[in-house]
Amino acid sequence: MMDHQFGKVFFVGAGPGDPGLITVKGLELIKRGDVIVYDRLVNTELLQYAKKEAKRIYCGKSPNAPSVSQEEINEVIVREAQRGKTVIRLKGGDPAVFGRVGEEAEYCRNHQIVFEIVPGVTAGTAATAYAGIPLTHRELGSSFAVVAGQKRRDGKGKEINWKGLATAVDTLVFYMGVKNLPYIQEQLLLHGRAADTPVALIRWGTCENQETIVGSLSDIVERVKEAAFQSPAIIVVGDVVKLRKKLAWFEEENHRQTLLKEAIII
Ligand code: SAH
């Protein structure tokens, strides 16, 4: 088969939840795609913009249920492109932030499939912004890091440099870390982060059901347990969390809307 008969693959960031947070370029591509291969954390409202005849393929990996393997996903993408289709590989947040775009793009390259990567708004910046926690602030934080918070089940992957991380970066944002929160807390304390450092967990950030829980490095594990707080959530560690007291605009607005609706019903 000749190259030019192949379709192209676009890795597109769908944003963190609020469908309005996809890029203009990303949305245009959804409208053009012949095949949309989408993940679990993609807001499915975005799929309504796809062509009626576009093939929609769900490739979600659920933490608790049997799911599609990475190899199968790679194969689906390449197979569709080899058939000449324009493939939109839609990923939650930004495809290059814990989105495995590296592996999928490499697989495309190995099969002579051309691709583009369209970045998206990642959960770490978006959920925090909606929770009233700017990641940087002139007095409270001049650096931030995004960190994979889960422990890999296969024991592979790079172990986090906790010693460096605990004190060198002002604001830490952990993805996929809710289950592993006790270990994260332990490691940060062990390596010198102050016990009174504020911590927030934001669940379903930028969605209508966004929920936030705040504590300190010493008591956050207890609080999360009491509230039975679950993923998908990000964990933010650092003094910028203090800003939320004044800046929690989104949840306040949701609350106001709820009260308004109730008043109308009464
Ligand atoms: N590529 C995605 C991250 C995928 S890893 C991005 O850039 O956002 C999946 C993890 O992202 C979840 O375990 C959770 O920690 C985080 N996450 C994704 N969407 C989220 C949301 N709406 N609110 C809070 N955390 C979210």
Beta bridge partners of 118: 12
Q: Is 93 in the pocket of ligand 1 (CB under 6 A)?
A: yes
pTM for the whole thing? 0.94
Instruction: Give the distance (Å) from ligand 1 centre to CA of residue 205.
Output: 8
Give residues with Cβ within 8 angstroms of 111, minimum separation 6: 78, 81, 82
Phi-psi bin for 234: left (phi > 0), alpha (psi -120 to 50), beta? beta
Atom of ligand 1 nearest to the CA of 96: 1
Residue 60: which pLDDT band, with cuts at 50, 70 and 90? confident
Name all domains of the chain by residue range, CATH numbers in brackets: 8-121 (3.40.1010.10), 124-250 (3.30.950.10)
Q: Return the exposure string of 170-193: e unless at least 16 CB atoms fall within 10 Å of the residue's CB, then b.
A: bbbbbbbbbebbeebbebbeeeeb
How many angstroms separate the CA atoms of 235 and 67, rounded?
25
Backbone dihedral angles phi then psi of residue 163, each to the nearest 5 degrees:
-60, -50
Q: Return the exposure string of 88-116: e unless at least 16 CB atoms fall within 10 Å of the residue's CB, then b.
A: bbbbbbbbbbbbbbeebbebbeebebebe
Testing ligand 1's pocket by substitution, the residue of 18, 98, 125 carrying the most ligand atoms inside 8 A of its CB is 98
How many angstroms separate the CA atoms of 203 and 123, rounded?
10
Average pLDDT, the chain: 94
Q: Give the mean pLDDT of 6-33.
A: 98
Instruction: Give the distance (Å) from ligand 1 centre to CA of residue 77.
Output: 22
User: Which residue's alpha carbon is nearest to atom 25 within ligand 1?
Assistant: 233
User: Which residue's alpha carbon is nearest to atom 20 within ligand 1?
Assistant: 123
Query: What pLDDT is recorded for position 61?
Result: 75
User: Which residue's alpha carbon is nearest to atom 3 within ligand 1?
Assistant: 98
Q: Is 15 in the pocket of ligand 1 (CB under 6 A)?
A: no
**Distance of alpha carbon 187 from its chain centroid, rounded?**
23
Q: Is 247 in the pocket of ligand 1 (CB under 6 A)?
A: no
User: Which residue's alpha carbon is nearest to atom 2 within ligand 1?
Assistant: 93
Q: Looking at the predicted structure, is the pLDDT value of residue 31 above 90?
A: yes
How many angstroms separate the CA atoms of 148 and 230, rounded?
16
Atom of ligand 1 nearest to the CA of 91: 1
Ranking 6-15, 103-112, 184-193, 251-260 by mean pLDDT, the lowest is 251-260
pLDDT per position as a tens digit, 196-221: 999 999 999 999 999 999 999 999 99
Handedness of CA 80, 117, 129, 20 (dihedral sign): negative
Instruction: Give the distance (Å) from ligand 1 centre to CA of residue 236.
Output: 13
Query: Is 84:7 a contact under the CB 8 Å cutoff?
Result: yes
Instruction: Give the distance (Å) from ligand 1 centre to CA of residue 225.
Output: 20
Nearest one of 79, 103, 77 to 90, comparing CA atoms: 77
For 145, the token pair is 């890091």
- Catalytic residues, by residue number, are 39, 61, 176
Q: Give the mean pLDDT of 247-254.
A: 94
